[in-house]
């Protein structure tokens, strides 16, 4: 698990460094990927706003952020910058394993004079937050990098820090779908191989001990879950 966390961190650090120089790795893919018969599916996902997992209107509608809410974004990437989270009235807390990502988000928040909760560089399975602290949360585009044991630890940590009946959105790969196949090929090329090894049924059996599934939807290569935190 430690090695995989380091690989994911280095991959996203590299992407941030290149992005600062105007280089988008998704536009510099090799021919064995761009010539793949499923590559057109990836191109369609890039232009289809409904496939922007973190920025979907459905996520905003379900979480329904208000001014008095704490919102945690696990594996946050650059959602605060590019997915409209800076416009949400809730107080934003971002967690990401990439130090370069957190550094860039600090710069963005300072430049735009955003009032946020915190930006924490670390793993989503071990956060510094108090139990029952968050009203709403998300973990989108992150669990696919990890195997069952880590996934379960991340679910347990999300459950710990969420308030009873708190709303949470997360996603997992739709294994076997052509969209997922090409997405996984690209992620492997970028140095962050997907290691997710659970069927949707196996994953849902893990969820049952911590969250109630209110609905789920297929979004591009992923399955997105809309959850309510179960606590006594």
| Consecutive 10-residue averages of pLDDT for the chain (232 residues) | 92 95 91 94 74 86 97 97 96 98 98 98 98 98 96 98 98 95 94 95 96 95 97 82
Please count the structural domains in the chain. Answer: 1
The pLDDT value recorded for residue 43 is: 87
The pLDDT value recorded for residue 48 is: 62
Please report the beta strands in the chain, taking only residues with DSSP state E, as ranges in sequence order.
70-74, 91-96, 118-121, 134-139, 162-173, 211-219, 222-229
Q: What is the CATH number of the domain that holds 68?
A: 3.40.50.150
CA-atom Rg of the chain in angstroms: 17
Domain enclosing residue 123, as ranges: 2-229
Helices 2-20 and 99-111, axial angle in degrees (round to 10): 40
The pLDDT value recorded for residue 232 is: 75
The pLDDT value recorded for residue 149 is: 97
The pTM assigned to this predicted structure is 0.95
């Amino acid at each position: 698990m430690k090695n995989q966390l380091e690989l994911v961190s280095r991959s996203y650090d590299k992407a941030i460094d290149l992005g600062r120089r105007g280089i988008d790795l998704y536009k510099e893919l090799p021919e064995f990927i761009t010539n793949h018969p499923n590559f057109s599916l990836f191109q369609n996902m890039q232009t289809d706003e409904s496939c922007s997992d973190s920025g979907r209107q459905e996520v905003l509608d379900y979480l329904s952020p208000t001014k008095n809410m704490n919102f945690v974004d696990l594996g946050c990437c650059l959602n605060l910058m590019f997915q409209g989270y800076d416009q949400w009235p809730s107080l934003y807390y971002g967690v990401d394993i990439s130090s370069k990502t957190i550094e860039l988000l600090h710069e963005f928040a300072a430049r735009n004079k955003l009032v946020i909760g915190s930006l924490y560089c670390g793993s989503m399975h071990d956060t510094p937050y108090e139990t029952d602290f968050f009203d709403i949360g998300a973990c989108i585009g992150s669990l696919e990098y990890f195997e069952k044991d880590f996934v379960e630890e991340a679910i347990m940590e999300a459950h710990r820090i969420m308030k009873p009946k708190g709303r949470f959105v997360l996603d997992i790969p739709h294994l076997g779908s052509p969209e997922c196949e090409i997405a996984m090929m690209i992620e492997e090329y970028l140095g962050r191989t997907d290691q997710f090894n659970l069927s949707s049924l196996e994953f849902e059996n893990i969820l049952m001990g911590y969250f109630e599934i209110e609905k789920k939807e297929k979004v591009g290569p992923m399955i997105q879950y809309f959850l309510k935190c179960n606590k006594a």
